[in-house]
Each structure stands twice: as C-alpha cells, then as structure tokens.
Structure 1
C-alpha cells in the first residue's frame, strides 16, 4: 500500500497567478475610469499647486506646518490593508497547508502590501516636504524622516496582520484603535520634536508596540476574517471603479439612478407633449451618465479656484476657461442616440432631436455659468464686473448652442 503523497504548495506561483488574474479583471475598467477622471485630476493638480505655492509664500509666522504635515501623513501611515486574494473555497483546500501558507504565501502578501503602501507614503512625504521645510526650528532631514516613516509603516502593517489573525472582535477593535493612535503620536513626535529626541521616542514606542503584537499574535490563521477582509477590499475597489463605468460583477445592467422630477422639469421645461419627448430623454441621459459628474466636478472646481483669485483678469480668465470646458463636456450629450434606429421609427420630426439637445444643453450650461458667477461677486473688485461676465457667459452659451456655423452641434 502506497503512502499518501505529501501536499505541496508553490507560494510564488499561486501569488503571481492570483495577482495577475485580478489585474486582468480590472484592467478594462481602469482604462475607462482614467479617461473619465483624467481632466478633473489634471485641473485639480494645477489648482492645488497654485494655492500650495501661495500658502508657502504668504503663510503668517508660526503657521502650523509641522502639525499639518503630520495630519496629512496619518492615513498613509496608519491605514494598512493587506491583499491576500483569499477565496472562500480556500478555507477548505488550503487548511491542511496552513503552516506553509502562513510562512510563505501570507508573508509574500504582507511584503507586497508594504511595497505598494510605502510608495504611497513616499508620494505623501514628497507632497508635504515643501511645507515642512518652511517650518521654523530644528527638524529632521528628508532622508532621515523618510527612513523613520518607512520603519513606522512596516511595524504598523505587521500590527494590522496580527489584528487579522485575532478571533476576538473586541481585541481587533482595540488593537486597530491603538494602531491609529500610535501612528498619530509617532508622526507628531517625529515632525515636531528635535531629530534625536523624536527618533528615539518613535523607536521606543515602536519597540513597545512590536512586543505587544508579538504577545497577542496567534499562530493559526483566522480564515473567515481573512476572507471577509479580502471581500471588503475587493468590493471597495470595484465600487470605486463603478463610479465611472458599470462593473459587470456588481450588476449586469446599468444601475438605476432616480433623478429629482423638479430638477428634470427645470432643466427641460417638460410638458406632456410630443415636442418634449427628446428633452425628457436627454435630461435623463445626462443625469444618469458620467456627464453629470464631470459637469458637477468642473463647476465646483472652477468655483473654488475663482474664490481664491483676486483682481479682474485672473477671475475672468478662470471663469471663461471653465465656461468653455463645461461647454465642451456637454457637447458629448448631443451625440447620444444620434444614430439610433429608434429615432427614425418614432412619429416625430427629424430635426426635433438636435433641437431638443440644444435646448437641454443650453439650459444646463446656463445654470453652470450662473453658479460660476457667484464666487465672482467677491473675487472681483465690483459686482457689476461679475454681472458683465455673467452676461458674456450666457451670450457665449447661446452662440455655441444656437448659431449653425458656430454651434457645437455642427459637427
């Protein structure tokens, strides 16, 4: 009688396969998400860089640069998710190999999570370094602080791994709260105290914390907790992507978005009449598509930038820039159902579709122009200047959506 063969497990191959499978799964959605948000992110970075520079040059004496830097770094240091790609079926098939999996596969998962999160921490430190460098007093150098931050991150990540193995929920909650408090305290000591004192106190605190998690560490894996943590992390990523494109795993059809009826009537001026058929359609298309989110983001971002500008030229340029950007964004709405065969079946005039699209876009754009005018009232020297820009914006909106040669629908 042959002895049963010993089960083997290749941690590197399994980890690589599951990582690759997940990347292939989300790759199409990531492309669409980047296309949707790239313009907004670019404008946000430009606006943030402008105001960041003004803050550095115009900050009053004693401005709490160190405390703000610690606050910005806190989530990057304390939030320590660990991707394991564990599935529910693994609790059955991998259980006999628990020791080997904990030693090799899970160690690889923790190290991979540290590599990704260390990059995020580095990006955050690069972002706050100019402000931190403006702070008065003795402070650690860039490399010195970065090395301490990376050690802090690695210890806190190990603490979170210990939390995932605990079976008692109250212990997990207390240890998670301690992790956030310890991250905040270490960042405060590192960035506000003198370099020797801050580094020594952080090292002592981390040694005590490391000893605590070593005492609380459970040798066995809490499989159900690992599956639940992976499910939450995976769901978070898919829901984030679902804000830009419909993710098939969450639902197989477009999600229903119920738009307020008063808003629809105000934008389209709807009546129960055949001539308003396409108005009803285009308002719903705009409210249920990514165009609504993009228009809202551009309007909010433009309003914020205008709020922090002064004079005549700068607010006017920003106002006209975002007026044009929202018009270009709304241009895509007119292309919806342009080649739909149903538009030729309905007993409606052929030109009604384009006319209705013009009406809806003109009203939406007029609302965005009016909203962008509000911060102009205090950004400009006199209110009449804001009203003149409002009239100019409404005039441009009318030209873009009405005159055939200049209309955004001419192509």
Structure 2
C-alpha cells in the first residue's frame, strides 16, 4: 500500500546522505582554513566599518535589497526523480502529504540562509538606528517569516505555469514588493507606505491563489526539471573539489571570449591540451563564472578593507581560490574516451593544465594589482604583483604538480 510519509522519509534520507558525502569533500582542510580566515577577517573589518559608518548610508535600501533577494528566491525542493512520472503518477491523489512535507522542508532550509543574512545585517541596523532597540528586529524577523511563506506558496503555484516569461515577471514583481515592504518598514516612519505595500502584496497573493488553485493536477515534468536543476547546481559546485559522476556537462558558445583565449595558441600537436583547457574554461557553465565571481568579490574587499596588508592578504586568498578550484579541469573530460586516444603522453596534458592555471592566476594577479593601485598606492600594486607572481609559480609547480601526478597514477 502506498504511504506518502514513508516515501518522503526515504527520499529525504537518501538526499541528505548524498549531499552530506559531497559536503565533507567540499569543506576539506584547504577550504575550511580559507573560510575560517575569511569569516574572522570579515567580522573584524565589519566591526571597524560599523564604528565609522558613513552618515547618510542607505541602510534601509541595503537591507531591503539583500533580504528581498533572499525572500524572492524560494524554490520548493520536492526530491522527485525522473522515473516518478511513471511509477508515482497513479498515486498522484495520495501525494498531498508528500508535497506538504517538501514545502516545509524547503521553508526551513531557506529560513536558515535567511537567518544568516538577517544576523549579518542586524549589527548594521542597530548601529544606524540605536534608539529602536531589539524590538524592531523581532518585528522584522516575524515579517521575514511571513514573507518567506508567501513567496514559497507563490513559487509552488507557479510550478503549474509553463510560460518562462511569466515566471520571470512574477519573480520581478515579488522582488520589488519584498524590497519596498522591507525598506519602508525599516525606515520606521512610513506606516502609510508599509500598509499600502502590504495591501498590494496581499492582493497579488490572493489573485495568484485564485488563478492557480483552479488548475488541477501536478505538473510532474516541471517539478522534476526544477529538482534536477537544483541537484545539478550542487553537483557543479562539488565537481570543483572532487569527481562527480552524476554531473551533466553543459556548454555555451561565447564565440568572442573563445577567440580571445585561443587565438594565441599555436596550431601544433603539443598544444592540443592547451587549446582544450582554454576552450573548456570559457564554454563550460562552471569555471568562467566562478572565476569572475571570485574576481568581483576580491575587488570589493580590496576597496572595502582599510588595512593595506589585509588588502594584500585577501587578494592572495582569492588568487589561491581561483587556482585551487580550477584544478577540477583535469577531470572535466574524464568520461570522454577520445581524450585518451590523443597521441600525446599524459605528461604533456599535465603540463598544459599547469601552464593554463599559471596563466589565469597571473592574469588575476595583474588585474587585482591595477585595482590595488586605485584603492591604495603604486607601491602596494608592485608588492601584489611580486608576491602574487611568486605565490602562483610556487603553487602551480609544487602543490598542483604533485596533485596532478597523483591523479595520473589513479
């Protein structure tokens, strides 16, 4: 006899076991040390910055935008699998309790991330509005919980909508509503505006309920597509640290960037892997985006941190993270047999990846050095160029080399 509760327990247990196994590999010694340093340094400079908070800083807008983004992103994790379209379809009328548990599981998982954002922004709020006290933060916490439930419900109803443009429009509308409700509430003296925005939000919520409550049945293909996209995003993150056999590779054209990265590669047999790794870096949906995100975060910290030496340390940290996470390029084509048919020794392949990692790390060092010139002085720019260059050479020719040699023997 079909039991929706038992099915959910099995799916949740398997999901936690799968993600937990990769999380242990992601948070290895290197990343754990980098995160510990990052959090400690961020907390220290955050406190220093709050003590000298600029007058007129738009606290309400910053908190509204950050928390609004966390509220708007409200996917419902169902843990469904592709085969469910066949085996669970006859039991669709018995799946209500399963989907209810999936909804609350999604709520508590996202509430955790929302709480982290709330905790990080609370000192900023109390510094800007010390006369309001903790009571306002408690009110804000209640509002965030209510808004998160509303956003999750609307996201769940919209899983019956197949028009992607309509779903994007809904996300934009909810983002605007979330931001303005929070912004006016945080100002404290705009009760009329808060009431108006709340009425609009409730009206939009009731209208969505009226439209989608009439649509019967479960959009199995949409639920499975969303669940698979969520798992693939997690697998792409884990693939930067270990081999993930479940990962589905995706490629994007990016013709202009491909030409920029490959036009300098000579048309020679020995440069086969040099060309392969460059084009993989650009066209893959993982590596280039990760590289750019780390670069932008590094720029933020270089401008935000007042201490010169910590600027240099953070720049080196993000140079290291870029090189460390790009080591996974070695296994990107592991499932493609024709890579092993190239008439080239594995030593050439290893050296090509080392040279490419050295290239991208030195390129980031150079650009961050220019940023350091604008944020500090030309002396710090030269220091970063020298120290970053020496670190890159040492990292690639010691740690990366030994790690790739071990992988060659596996």
Structure 1 length normalisation: TM-score? 0.67
Q: In structure 2, what is the equivalent of residue 72 of structure 1?
A: 66
TM-fit CA distance, 1:183? 2.8
CA contact (8 A) 1:47 1:305 kept: no
Q: In structure 2, what is the equivalent of residue 82 of structure 1?
A: 76
Consecutive unaligned residues in structure 2, runs of 5 or more: 333-338, 404-410
Equivalent residue in structure 2 for 1:233, among 226, 232, 255: 226
CA contact (8 A) 1:295 1:326 kept: yes
CA contact (8 A) 1:306 1:376 kept: yes
Please say which structure displays the higher CA radius of gyration.
Answer: 1
Instruction: Give me the whole-angstrom Cα distance separating, in 2, the residues matched to 1:390 and 1:59.
Output: 32
Counterparts of 1:4-403 in structure 2, within 5 Å, are 9-34=2-27, 45=39, 48-49=42-43, 52-53=46-47, 55-86=49-80, 87-89=84-86, 92-95=89-92, 98=93, 100-102=94-96, 104-136=97-129, 138=132, 140-164=135-159, 179-194=174-189, 212=207, 215-216=210-211, 218=213, 221-224=216-219, 227-244=220-237, 245=239, 248-249=245-246, 251=248, 260=258, 263-264=261-262, 266=264, 270=266, 272=268, 277=270, 280-281=272-273, 284-285=276-277, 288=280, 301-309=297-305, 313-318=309-314, 363=359, 365-381=361-377, 383=378, 386-387=381-382, 390-391=385-386, 393-394=388-389
Instruction: Give me the whole-angstrom Cα distance separating, in 2, the residues matched to 1:235 and 1:199.
Output: 38
Instruction: Give me the whole-angstrom Cα distance separating, in 2, the residues matched to 1:198 and 1:366.
Output: 51
CA contact (8 A) 2:299 2:368 kept: yes
Structure 2 length normalisation: TM-score? 0.67
Q: In structure 2, what is the equivalent of residue 339 of structure 1?
A: none
CA contact (8 A) 1:73 1:124 kept: yes
CA deviations 1:210-266 (Å, max 9, x no partner) are: 655564463663322xx2431232232233134342754554xx6678994663575
Instruction: Give me the whole-angstrom Cα distance separating, in 2, the residues matched to 1:292 and 1:170.
Output: 26
1:148 to 1:90, Cα distance in 2 relative to 1, 3 A: farther
CA deviations 1:65-90 (Å, max 9, x no partner) are: 01211111112223332233453226
TM-fit CA distance, 1:322? 5.8
TM-fit CA distance, 1:172? 7.5
Alignment RMSD (CA, Å): 5.1
Number of residue equivalences:
380
Q: State which drifts further: 141-150 or 241-250.
A: 241-250
TM-fit CA distance, 1:128? 1.6
CA contact (8 A) 2:150 2:205 kept: yes
Instruction: Give me the whole-angstrom Cα distance separating, in 2, the residues matched to 1:105 and 1:377.
Output: 57
- Match of 2:385, SS? helix
TM-fit CA distance, 1:150? 1.1
1:220 to 1:366, Cα distance in 2 relative to 1, 3 A: closer
Instruction: Give me the whole-angstrom Cα distance separating, in 2, the residues matched to 1:88 and 1:400.
Output: 49
Instruction: Give me the whole-angstrom Cα distance separating, in 2, the residues matched to 1:55 and 1:148.
Output: 28
CA contact (8 A) 2:50 2:124 kept: yes
Instruction: Give me the whole-angstrom Cα distance separating, in 2, the residues matched to 1:335 and 1:318.
Output: 28
Instruction: Give me the whole-angstrom Cα distance separating, in 2, the residues matched to 1:169 and 1:357.
Output: 39
Q: In structure 1, what is the equivalent of residue 408 of structure 2?
A: none
Instruction: Give me the whole-angstrom Cα distance separating, in 1, the residues matched to 2:230 and 2:11.
Output: 16
CA contact (8 A) 1:33 1:241 kept: no
1:387 to 1:216, Cα distance in 2 relative to 1, 3 A: closer
